Amino acid sequence: MADEKETCKNPVCGCAPHDGKYCSASCEGTGDTIEIDCDCGHEECTGNF
Q: Which residues bind Zn ion (CB under 5 A)?
A: 8, 10, 13, 15, 23, 27, 38, 40, 45
Residues in the chain: 49
CA distances 42 to 1, 2, 3, 9, 20, Å, are 27, 26, 24, 15, 17
**Closest distance of CB 21 from Zn ion, Å:** 9
| Cβ nearer to Zn ion, comparing 1 with 19 | 19
| Cβ nearer to Zn ion, comparing 1 with 44 | 44
**Closest distance of CB 1 from Zn ion, Å:** 23
Residue 41 gets which letter from DSSP? -
